[in-house]
Structure 1
Amino acid sequence: MRTVEIAVENKSTKIRRVLFIILVCCVIMGIVDAVIRPGYAIKSIIKIFLFLGCPLIYSGYDKEIYLKQLFSIHKNSLIKPLLLGVGVFLVILAAYFFLKNILDFSKITSSLESNVGVSKDNFVSVSLYISFINSMLEEFFFRGFAFLSLKRYTSRFFSYSISSIAFALYHVSMMIGWFSIATLLLIIIGLIVGGIIFNFLNERNKNIYSSWMVHMFANFAINTVGFILFGLI
């Protein structure tokens, strides 16, 4: 009986530790995005340390957090995510062209320039980083660490919820001033739903490549909108 109690206590401790890391990393990154607002290169370095470094450091302490398996590739499992990614790309572009005369997107470029340091001059390099590296960082942290690792210790519903909500709320800090409150709430709901879909893809394939592919294509579409707004295409 005592052994069972110790096991439950250890499990609860590990859940609290993982949740603490998720919370601290998201809060710090949110403060960096919304308050400190350093140059994009500095912000990227901080994000790499928080979203990649912190989980790796903790996995060295907790051997049950085995992150290497998140990068195992199953070729047959990439076809559906690829098709889904292309579909997401087309849907996002179609939504932009449908809504551009309804919603005001003019604040986005000015906010990017003043708050993030992203301008017409560096948007190409930034868009490449966002599409390939930033998307992988977020998938590793939110889907790999915050979902698949947390799922080892807690319920499926809880791990789905924490990962998806953390993913959505994290993005709020970088979108402050871009949209009205109502539009921002819709975006948050969309991000939560997107996080749930990403979790489902990774849960089936037990790696982060499936969600990364869809996330990457979503970023392709968002960056295409950015090119349009900056007048680059």
Structure 2
Amino acid sequence: MAKKKIIIIMTIVSICCLLMGLVDAVIRPQYMVKSIIKILLFLICPIVYSMYDKELKLKLLLKPNHKGLIIAVISGISVFTIIFGGYFLIGNLFDLSGITSSLTANIGVSKNNFLWVAIYISLVNSLLEEFFFRGFAFLTLKRFASRKFAYVFSSLIFAIYHLAMMVGWFDVILFILTISSLFIGGLIFDYFNEKYENIYISWLVHMFANFAINGIGFILFGIV
């Protein structure tokens, strides 16, 4: 039974990521449409599975828990400083112009609507990804698979998922560096989830990371 559940969870996660990859890289709808599709895949699909597996209590992942809050804030500020500081230190070594042009051409994100997109990405999208990749693909999978396997699978699929949306953004070196950072970031998020048994701590750190990335986006779009 455990092996069967491992296969089912991995299949659901993989198919959802594959479909989102097709949406990001091939279909390329407007950002609002893309967001709705992502909610259906990353939120509704796990909920539907939880109706089949009565032992799976997804609502426990959303149970408020204040443990680790100070550590999360400190970690989040540190991540923000590293990402934002790294941009000012080495950003001029890479051509980042492809980011804004790709966002505008592929999903309609522009200087005019970037503020609202940035707010959604930082607050809502980060929570959605934490629920799916850390809550469902890690904490749920860890109940049936080995701890090491759950860590690697959830972090690897998290990094691979971002491949499709970042096509054309960077040169090869920065692309590899970004994917590697996403994998390492996934491992760190998994650690927070495992230690505090909820997704809020990793969500807070993820949120700060998005604050930094979106801050860079404001600069690239010439908003600030």
TM-score clears 0.5: yes
Q: Figure out how many residues of one structure are paired with residues of the other and give that number.
A: 224
- 1:60 equivalent in structure 2: 51
Matched, 1:30 2:21: yes
User: What's the CA shift for 1:86?
Assistant: 0.9
CA radius of gyration, larger in: 1
Matched, 1:14 2:21: no
User: What's the CA shift for 1:73?
Assistant: 2.0
Tell me the percent identity. 55
- 2:112 equivalent in structure 1: 121
Report if aligned partners of 2:65, 2:200 keep a CA contact under 8 Å in 1.
no
User: What's the CA shift for 1:66?
Assistant: 1.3
Matched, 1:165 2:156: yes
CA–CA distance in structure 2, aligned partners of residues 168 and 64 of structure 1: 28
Where do 4+ consecutive residues of structure 1 move more than 3 Å?
none
User: What's the CA shift for 1:28?
Assistant: 0.1
Range with bigger deviation, 132-141 or 75-84: 75-84
Matched residue of 2:89: which SS?
helix
User: What's the CA shift for 1:74?
Assistant: 2.1
Return the match for 2:76 from 68, 85, 92: 85
- 1:5 equivalent in structure 2: none
Matched, 1:70 2:49: no
CA–CA distance in structure 2, aligned partners of residues 15 and 97 of structure 1: 43
Could you list the runs of 5+ residues in structure 1 that have no partner in the other structure?
1-9
- 1:48 equivalent in structure 2: 39
User: What's the CA shift for 1:101?
Assistant: 1.5
Matched, 1:223 2:199: no
User: What's the CA shift for 1:180?
Assistant: 1.4
User: What's the CA shift for 1:23?
Assistant: 0.6
Matched residue of 1:38: which SS?
coil
CA–CA distance in structure 2, aligned partners of residues 111 and 125 of structure 1: 18
Report if aligned partners of 2:155, 2:184 keep a CA contact under 8 Å in 1.
yes
CA–CA distance in structure 1, aligned partners of residues 115 and 157 of structure 2: 28
- 1:181 equivalent in structure 2: 172
Deviations 1:177-229 (A, max 9, x none): 01112221111111000000000001000000010000000000000000001
- 1:135 equivalent in structure 2: 126
Report if aligned partners of 2:130, 2:203 keep a CA contact under 8 Å in 1.
yes
Return the match for 1:39 from 25, 30, 43: 30
Could you list the runs of 5+ residues in structure 2 that have no partner in the other structure?
none
Report if aligned partners of 2:67, 2:196 keep a CA contact under 8 Å in 1.
no
CA–CA distance in structure 1, aligned partners of residues 67 and 138 of structure 2: 23
CA–CA distance in structure 2, aligned partners of residues 65 and 15 of structure 1: 13
CA–CA distance in structure 1, aligned partners of residues 136 and 67 of structure 2: 24
Return the match for 2:88 from 97, 103, 111: 97
Look up the equivalent residue of 1:64 and give its one-letter code.
E
CA–CA distance in structure 1, aligned partners of residues 50 and 35 of structure 2: 22
Report if aligned partners of 2:95, 2:171 keep a CA contact under 8 Å in 1.
no
Matched residue of 1:119: which SS?
coil
What root-mean-square deviation, in Å, do the aligned CA atoms of Structure 1 and Structure 2 show? 0.8
TM-score, length basis structure 1: 0.95
CA–CA distance in structure 2, aligned partners of residues 172 and 76 of structure 1: 33
CA–CA distance in structure 2, aligned partners of residues 110 and 14 of structure 1: 42
